[in-house]
Amino acid sequence: MGSPIDDLLAVLPADRVLTDSGVLAAHSRDEADLCDAGTPLAVLRPKSTAEVAAVVRVAAAHRVPVVPQGARTGLTGAANAVDGALVVSLAGLNRILEIDAGERIAVVQPGVVNAELRRAAAKEGLAYPPDPGSWESSTIGGNVSTDAGGMCCVKYGVTGDYVLGMEVVLADGEILRCGRRTVKGVAGYDLTGLFVGSEGTLGIITEITVRLRPAPAETRTLVAVYPTVPAAGRVVSSVVAAGHVPSMFELLDRTHLRAIEAYRPMGLDTEAAAMLLIATDTGAGADLAAIAECCRTAGASELYVAEDAVEAEALTSARRLAHPAMEHLARRAFPGGRGGLVVDDVAVPRARVADLVAGVEEISARHGVLVGVVGHAGDGNLHPVIVVDRASQSSMDSGRLVFDEIMRLGLSLGGTCTGEHGVGLLKRDWLAREVGPVGMGVHRAVKAALDPRGIFNPGKVIAPG
């Protein structure tokens, strides 16, 4: 047996095995701050399931760690390399293999970009609803690995709700096909569900069969502005209690409104405590009118209903600008590339949304660290965004302290440490607190059964030890 690189070159074309220092650095991490990353031994770009399996067999023989990567848009360090690892980039497995309009399914490789699948489905009069904020660049494989969500979750659910089956390369290089193509099917353990959200720790996903839906009717959108966060929070409970099912139900706090207005002026009310962006996609104006009445009853200081699709898209664009606007704010606050964002992800019962936002404001003020809150109010999943100075250890330490206090707050409100971003490196300790020792024991048992050598994405989700 030769070196790992020699053995890889024996099973892959040379252009699939990359060791250039610049390439290694570019593939060392995802977009998460507060997470360490190592230097990989090589970056591999397989073009088929067979090539992925060949890589895994080499890694298993040499007991070399394997870190699968998609577009590296994650926010928890799940795609970060460890020293000496083989990074397996799945960007080359990027074909839409099939769209079956009759069965309403698509079969795709993991490197297919979310937006590409959505556009391909739309040509068939169908829709693929999951829409993470990075939908124009994130891949379906990455979305499945983290069970990603998005703005449509309130009505349509997360990525895992659409995964019917998959092909997975296991830790010994064997290829598993699990799941189904049928509308119904309950044979055996739900192995497909086991790999969804596993963040590359149990196997490498090389093909995915997803459910599609009929394209929705016309979308109608409104914006409601509130002078207090509790008032905005009351809308969430009242809309759900009244039986309404919006297709989008987003909240932006004052920090985000000001950041967006500074980044791209849109005439937003920067003195408002919160803005709600709500949409329906049934084509029925009565649905949105009933939701608008809930907004008025809760004390909206301003209410605006889009007249047409162009206006609706203009309103939605404000929400999509939230992240780049906060990046702009961080750059201005800490020039010279020092400004960074720690994007948190916590989900609480919908009735506790206002308590979460109020608690984050208190934590931010007490520590003197700027934190904005944005997210999917309709399903209780919010994203506190912590602004840090990457060049200052004290700022990073404060950011970590604030992050941990927000996590503690979310769990105390009956919530969970992640609604859609996953665990990765960032939330391993909080996962352990949430599920307890018995739950972690089951996690470790599953990991040991499927990856006995511990080569797949070591250190992610489950802390070493």
Contact 203, 170 (CB under 8 A): yes
**What's the rounded Cα separation, in Å, for the pair 321 and 283?**
26
DSSP state of 40: -
Q: What is the 3-state secondary structure (H, E, C) of 42-84?
A: EEECCCCHHHHHHHHHHHHHHCCCEEEECCCCCCCCCCCCCCC
Contact 281, 247 (CB under 8 A): yes
pLDDT of residue 312: 83
pLDDT of residue 442: 97
Q: What is the mean pLDDT of the chain?
A: 95
Residues sharing a CB contact under 8 Å with residue 13, sequence separation 6 or more, in sequence order: none
Whether residues 79 and 156 fall in one domain: no
Asked if residue 450 belongs to a domain, the reply is: no
* CATH label of the domain that carries residue 26: 3.30.43.10
Whether residues 330 and 247 fall in one domain: yes
Domain boundary among 214, 240, 265: 214
Whether residues 345 and 373 fall in one domain: yes
Instruction: Give the pairing type, strands 86-89 and 42-44.
Output: parallel
**Is the torsion defined by CA of 154, 160, 165, 168 positive or negative?**
positive
Q: What is the pLDDT of residues 287-316, one digit of tens each?
A: 899 999 999 999 999 999 987 778 888 888
* CATH label of the domain that carries residue 190: 3.30.465.10
pLDDT of residue 33: 84
Backbone angles phi, psi at 384, to 5 degrees: -65, 130
What is the token pair recorded at 442? Answer: 């089951």
**What's the rounded Cα separation, in Å, for the pair 221 and 312?**
5
Domain boundary among 214, 230, 253: 214
pLDDT of residue 283: 77
pLDDT of residue 449: 98
What is the token pair recorded at 101? Answer: 């309009």
Contact 152, 134 (CB under 8 A): no
**What's the rounded Cα separation, in Å, for the pair 315 and 66?**
42
What amino acid occupies position 440? M
Whether residues 117 and 78 fall in one domain: no
Instruction: Give the pairing type, strands 42-44 and 339-343.
Output: unpaired
What amino acid occupies position 131? D
* CATH label of the domain that carries residue 249: 3.40.462.40
Counted domains in the chain = 3
H-helix segments, 149-284: 153-156, 191-195, 229-241, 254-263
What is the token pair recorded at 142? Answer: 């990455």
**What's the rounded Cα separation, in Å, for the pair 381 and 318?**
18
**What's the rounded Cα separation, in Å, for the pair 345 and 323?**
13
Residues sharing a CB contact under 8 Å with residue 251, sequence separation 6 or more, in sequence order: 232, 274, 275, 276, 277, 353, 357, 373, 374, 375, 376, 377, 382
State the residue range of the domain holding 33: 4-89
Q: What is the pLDDT of residues 78-92, one digit of tens each?
A: 999 999 999 999 999
139 bridge partner residues: 113
pLDDT of residue 361: 95
Contact 347, 434 (CB under 8 A): no
Q: What is the pLDDT of residues 410-434, one digit of tens each?
A: 999 999 999 999 999 999 999 999 9
Which residues of the chain register pLDDT less than 70? 1, 465
**The whole model's pTM is what?**
0.94
pLDDT of residue 2: 84
